[in-house]
Amino acid sequence: MPERELELDPEHTALVVIDLQKGIVGVPAAPHDTVLVVARG
């Protein structure tokens, strides 16, 4: 079976990042506080 190149449409594609390690979200960040970002969902 031949391999196909993965094509992603940037208008209909989202990047989802999940923090799987405890503590990374607790690190201070700017310009948005990570605790508030996580709370917003």
Label residue 13 left, alpha or beta by phi (over 0 means left) and psi (-120 to 50 means alpha): beta
Residue-by-residue pLDDT tens, the chain, 41 positions:
678 898 999 999 998 887 766 667 777 778 888 778 878 87
Retrieve residue 18's tokens: 């999940």
- 13-22 confidence digits (pLDDT tens): 998 887 766 6
Label residue 23 left, alpha or beta by phi (over 0 means left) and psi (-120 to 50 means alpha): left
With tokens 């979200």, the residue in question is 25
Q: Find the Cα–Cα–Cα–Cα dihedral 37, 33, 31, 13, rounded to 10°.
A: -20
Give this prediction's pTM.
Answer: 0.34
pLDDT at position 17: 81
Please give the mean pLDDT across all residues of the chain: 81
